[in-house]
Every structure is written in C-alpha cells, then in structure tokens.
Structure 1
C-alpha cells in the first residue's frame, strides 16, 4: 500500500511538471507589453485631464495620476521597481499638497477624484519638486536591468512628457 502511494505521488509530480512546464518557461519573466500599456494609458489619460486645469490644481491632479498608475503596476510584482519610483513621486506630491493647501479654494472634480488647490505662491516650488521627482523616477526605472528597462521605458517617456505641464 505504501509503495503504491509513493508511486502515485511520483506520477502526479511528473504530470504536474510536464503540464506546468510552459508556465515555468525561461522566456516567461512576468513582464508584458499589455501591463506596460495599461500603466502608460492610465497615466496619460489622467495627466491629460490635469493639463486643462489651473496650475494650482495640477499638483494634486498629477499626484492622483501617479496614484492611479501605481495601482495598475502593483498588480504585477515584477514591476515593483516602477511601483516604488512612482510611489515616491506620489508621496512627495501628497506631502507638498498637504503642506501648501489653499483652504480658500474649493475642490474640483477630475478623473473621478476631488482635486485640491495649493497656494499660488507655492506653485514655483511645486514645479521644481515635480521636475526633480520625475527625474528621480525615470533614473530609477532606467537604472534597472535591461529586461526591466525594456518594459519601463514607455512609462518613463510618459512621465517625462508631463514635466513641461508643470512649467
């Protein structure tokens, strides 16, 4: 009885490895063009809506664009370096908005969220903070392995395209 159980376990293990072989193939690294495109499309759609706003609202709007994009890349663990880079920008913008919030201006609804305004005097500081954050995020994504860079480059390009929006 014990011998036949061991034999059946061996057969089952062999069958699992045979059938799951394509799942564990060397060329399946977890990255996908589809996942990268979803991240880029999410960021570009959200940031395009931000471009139509007054500069005092753009900081929080872009923060929300980063937040939405982080949620997309968080679904694939191999994108963790991009997720960390995007999260750093998001958190920097969040802290800035909290510190420089203009309480005299009503929030506006954009991309399904309520966008807060910063004080007009803080906009030049926000612009520099944003440019520096984008540069750091792009450097982190471009400093990854060559395989990661291949999938992170479209995301980096989308980030770089928004730098002029904060000028």
Structure 2
C-alpha cells in the first residue's frame, strides 16, 4: 500500500497530464509548503499541596571520644562551628572533631582536606585539617555523638 501525503497528491495534480508541454503553453509554477509539528504529551499529576512539617532538629549529646578515626570509615562530614566539625562514619555513628582553635576559613569555602597518613587514620593531637583557602587547624580531640532524647 502506498501512503500518499497531501503534498505529493498536490504535485501530481499540477503536473501536465501527458507528455511534454508545448512551447505555446504558458509556464506554470507552484509552491508547496510542508509543515510538521511534533507534540509530546507529558502527563502531569496533581501533588498533594500539604507538606508534612519539617522534622525537629536533632540534639546531639557528646560522650567520651576515640583517639583516632580510620580514614576509610568516613563517609561524610558537616561543619558545626568554626572550632568543630562532625564526621559521619560507615557504621552510621557520628564523631565530633574539636579543633585546638577557631578555624574561620572552614565556613568560607565549605570544605576541608585531610592529608593521607601512613597508618590510614586521623588522630587527635597529631593531625590537622587544611581549609580550601590554605590555612590549617590541628585536631584537639574527638567526641562521640549520640542523639539525645527529647521530652
């Protein structure tokens, strides 16, 4: 089955019926414009406009900390203040690193570096963190964190 488009049908009807046109026939011109339009339908769902209330902020209670933390155990970090940051470990525990002094460069660039050590651990009173701006701050101690129960 041949699928004739409207443009092809129009060209066939404008063509002369038989043979070559005679020199006496006036020359005819035709213009055909083909326009295509593609529509993509994206189904939309109406979402529930009532959002649940945000969860209450967690209060962390500091406990006795460890001396060293394995670098391979760290999966994330969060800056708490200019003198401390939290490390999230693979076993889903948190450790807060207290710095020996305020380190204002940390919150400016939102990140820091820790130099790889031979034993693969970050230890208090030994290692320091480096801000992305170039400064460095020594880690004074680690404190373990537990979520405090709210009344």
TM-score normalized by the length of structure 2 = 0.23
Indicate the structure (1 or 2) with the bigger Cα radius of gyration. Answer: 2
Q: Which has the higher helix share?
A: 1
Q: Which has the higher strand share?
A: 2
